[in-house]
Amino acid sequence: MIRTLLCLIVFAQPLAAMDIVEVISPEGTRVWVVDAPEIPIVSLELSFEGGSRLDPDGREGLTTMMVGLLAEGAGERDALAFAEARQDLAARFGFRNDKDSVSVSASVLSETLDESVALLASAIARPRFDPPAVDRVRTQLLSAIDSDTRNPRALAGRALSETFFAGHVYARPSDGTRSSVSAITVDDLRLQHARTLVRGRVTAAVVGDIRPEEAGPLIDRLLAGLPEVGPPLPEPADVQEGGAPLIIPFDVPQSIAVFGHEGPARDDPAFLAAFVANTVIGGGGFGSRLAEDIREARGLTYSISTALSPRDQAALILGSVSSANDRIAEVVRLVEEEWTRAGQDGITADELDEAKRYLTGAYALRFTSNGAIAGSLVGLQRAGLPIDYPDRRNALVEALTLEEVNAAARALYRPDALRFVIVGQPEGLTRTE
């Protein structure tokens, strides 16, 4: 019965009737807008290129700490008054950073839009960095740094960054170190605010109960007072690949392994083909080869996945898996075998068809809430993609040939370049330093 119904499937699904409009604000900022009046809320996303890679040497963690203080007092309000004002408006603000950018997300009620934008604008342009708040956030950050020294997952991620990016700012931890965070002054915070929240480096999207012509002035209000230009961005990083597994001894029953090597940049013409190949070999949300073999058939792990990770100044393919200390060596061997097979033979025509059906159908699932749409629109702009990309993307996936995908797979999977970092007490793996 189920098989008969299966026959009527399989065509590229249309995307939601989502009309993306580009507006240029009066002050010259490009904004992508989706007018979606069904729910009386407005969601917006801002991303400022720069992020923690702009931390000065010896002040690692400065951007993280600065971002953590944006909502801890701004304009006329101290931390408590700011929080109370935000509660009174029932506005939701989020501030975060990574090595490439500082991001601001907000969801606010249409009815309090004006006041909510004013409050958010004060956090973006006029944070106070009051000494009590600075002390409090510093103590919290130091505590997080300390906690991470006993967090196997954090240890693994940090060691992998240090391995890949030795000598580049990408190798430094976004949270900084005990000594670097302890050294941060209020002047450092003010300076870093001006260096990282730069109007000329912003990408913006607004989704919800708002008309396109209102979105530009709204974004201008949020960016008012920010500098136009920022410091130069660091040079691209060389990814240092290969080598024996790096083992970090840690007393846990299950070893955590992270692995990868250099991958295609987002503007590489073969990026989409590589993305499809990765979906088949190790992508999440899909019965990938690695998941089928290592989890389903052998029960060696609860989860294994790999993903392309194109950053602004280096691109990687990264994977993670965890398995009991006495079984992780087998997992590493199986990953290496699959890497070799994928690099030599690529994927099959059936696998390509399956991946296309999954990817084209599931694309619409990324655009189901205002907040998710705003985030996606900023991601597309940051990647340099055109405004009609959401409408064209499924056709681009459909058009990929097996030859194109397998050429990308051969370039992508390089077993000799693969580097593992393993935290735990793995058995049967040679320890290196």
Partner 1 sequence: MRIFALILALFAAPLARGAEPGVTTFTLENGLQGVVIVDSRAPVVTHMVWYRVGSADEPPGKSGIAHFLEHLMFTGTDELSQGEFSRIIADNGGQDNAFTSYDFTGYFQRIGSERLELMMQLEADRMADLRLDPAVIQPERDVIIEERNQRVDNDPAALFGEERRAAQYLNHPYGRPIIGWRHEMERLTREDALAFYDLHYAPNNAILVVAGDVDPEEVEALAAKHYGPLPPSDLPPRVRPSEPPQRSARRLEFIDPRVRQPYVIRSYLAPSRATGDQDTAAALQILASLLGGGITSHLQRALTLDTETALDVGAFYSPLALDETTFGIYIVPQPGLSLVEAEAALDAAVQDFIDAGPDPERLARIKGQLRASEIFALDSQRARAGRYGRALTMGLTVEDVADWPAALDRVTVEDVAAAAETVFDLRRSVTGYLMRTPEDREGSAG
Q: How far is the CB of 226 from partner 1 (least distance, A)?
A: 24
- To the nearest 10 degrees (0 to 180), the angle between helices 152-164 and 131-148 is 90
CA distance 172 to 375: 26
Report the residue number, 1 or 229, with the smaller CB distance to partner 1: 1
Report the residue number, 46 or 108, with the smaller CB distance to partner 1: 108
Q: How far is the CB of 206 from partner 1 (least distance, A)?
A: 14
CA distance 297 to 293: 5
CA distance 430 to 124: 49
Report the residue number, 27 or 115, with the smaller CB distance to partner 1: 115
Report the residue number, 38 or 388, with the smaller CB distance to partner 1: 38
Report the residue number, 85 or 273, with the smaller CB distance to partner 1: 85
Q: How far is the CB of 224 from partner 1 (least distance, A)?
A: 20
Report the residue number, 2 or 229, with the smaller CB distance to partner 1: 2
Q: How far is the CB of 204 from partner 1 (least distance, A)?
A: 19
Q: How far is the CB of 59 from partner 1 (least distance, A)?
A: 22
Q: How far is the CB of 130 from partner 1 (least distance, A)?
A: 11
Distances, alpha carbon 236 to alpha carbons 62, 158, 388, in Å: 21, 19, 29
Report residue 390 CA to chain centroid gap: 19
Residue 236: exposure state from Cβ atoms within 10 A (0-12, 13-18, ≥19): middle
- The two three-digit tokens of residue 382, written as one number: 């940051």
Report the residue number, 189 or 300, with the smaller CB distance to partner 1: 300
Q: How far is the CB of 307 from partner 1 (least distance, A)?
A: 16
